[in-house]
Amino acid sequence: MTARGSKRWAVIDRPYSAVLFLMLLACCLTPIPASAQFVMRDRPSLRIGKLLRVDLRTKVQGDFRAFSPDLTVDEGTFDLHRFRLALDGTFLKYFDYQVERELRDYFGGLDPKHPWRDVYVNFNYFDDFQVQGGKFKIPFSMEELTSSFDLDFVNRALIATDLAPARDVGVMMHGRFFKRGLSYQAGIFPHDGENSESHTNIRGEPAYAVRLNATPFRPLRLPLELGKIELGAATVASDLPEGLNSLRGHTYSGKDFFNHVYVKGRRLRIGTEFRWQPGPFTVKSEWIHVAEQRNDQSIRATDLPDKLSVGWYLTGAWVLTGEPSEGGVKPRHPFPNAGIGAIEIATRLEQQRFGSAEHPGPALSGPRSANINGNSDRAWTTGINWYVNRYVKVQVNAIHEIIEDPNRSPIPGREKFWMGMMRLQFAM
């Protein structure tokens, strides 16, 4: 077996592979009663009454990119961005589960750093107090918690990929109250997410997360569908080991514009959310603030001012063909049998900035500087989404970025540049 093949099969030693193996073994050893049904509606499904439901899901995304001026990126101008296979469903009536793995390395894509995605079991006996355990997204950031196959744009907002934690192993309690007008999520995780990894793969630990989401105006029956306004807030607290373990900033091309600095102490994330989806329109916004302590990190081993990472975005979208946007756009007249599908236009303004909480002395770029020489990235994205049918989606985006410090731009000395992207997506 080749070294590459050995690397692929080495994942069998991981706990997620063991979970998948045991679930498949249980399915194979369980006698299948005569009532078992294989169903093919939106996707292949095995159903055994209320005992077991197994759905097979496939997700594929391919991206084409162009840059102006030319910018060399490691993965080239085409990227098999995702090729995922998942099993999900229910068993014993009160347990939901999902096992999802990234397989793009088998089809010529880049090797994923974290091939196992969501691998969890959820106990749903009580609607208001459900318990979920395994690997899943830490409850923080509306944008990060949205599936990559339901995004308004090809890429997530920069703050979601740089400042939100993403997935980790943990346990979470969650539920909804007041006729689903208030939802909560609270969890504990040994680390604070895959997005938090430093260049040496170090994450904050442990992480405590709380997120609240509400539609506070729903009982008032306001005009213009104002009752659909959703407001949210979330926080994640963790501890950072000493080292170059801070969060860093990168552009949409994947190039860093702000590098890691030395940190030690607490990392505290705070975020707010806004979403309003009246009919075919969508307005969304988020703000995220992250403070990272730098205890004993000066050249004299004294405390330095906290390193701050702050960002926001504002999104507007309109489904021109009239389908409601809430819950995801579902074309009324899918192509090619009934019409042209659904067409949506969208735009997003955003900014994120990195620096220090206080500014003693001159601003310097060293990783132990008291006054960090800050840098920011402002981006404007506009695009069009074509929901061809329930399985296929095409997205075309134009992205304009402005780097505050041109010396730390992906193109040294140039602060402004464009990027064009087209994504072809299939999900079943």
CA distances from 245 to 112, 146, 199, 375 (A): 21, 26, 8, 18
Tokens 């306001």 belong to residue: 222
Lowest mean per-residue pLDDT among 5-14, 168-177, 225-234, 301-310? 5-14
- Is there a contact between 417 and 411 (Cβ–Cβ < 8 Å)? yes
Residue 34 has a pLDDT of 52
Residue 237 or residue 8, greater confidence = 237
pLDDT in tens, 389-404: 999 999 999 999 999 9
Tokens 């997204």 belong to residue: 137
Residue 40 has a pLDDT of 61
Distance of alpha carbon 120 from alpha carbon 167, whole angstroms: 11
Kindly tell me the burial class for residue 322, based on how many C-beta atoms sit within 10 Å of its own C-beta (0-12, 13-18, 19 or more).
exposed
Kindly tell me the burial class for residue 362, based on how many C-beta atoms sit within 10 Å of its own C-beta (0-12, 13-18, 19 or more).
exposed
Distance of alpha carbon 102 from alpha carbon 166, whole angstroms: 15
pLDDT in tens, 19-31: 554 554 445 445 5
CA-based Rg of the chain, rounded to a whole angstrom?
Answer: 23
Distance of alpha carbon 164 from alpha carbon 166, whole angstroms: 6
Residue 3 has a pLDDT of 38
**Hey, what amino acid is at 70?**
D
pLDDT in tens, 308-328: 999 999 999 999 999 999 999
Residue 2 has a pLDDT of 35
Outline where 176-313 has alpha helix (H).
none
- Architecture of the domain delimited by 147-427: Beta Barrel (2.40)
Confidence (pTM): 0.89
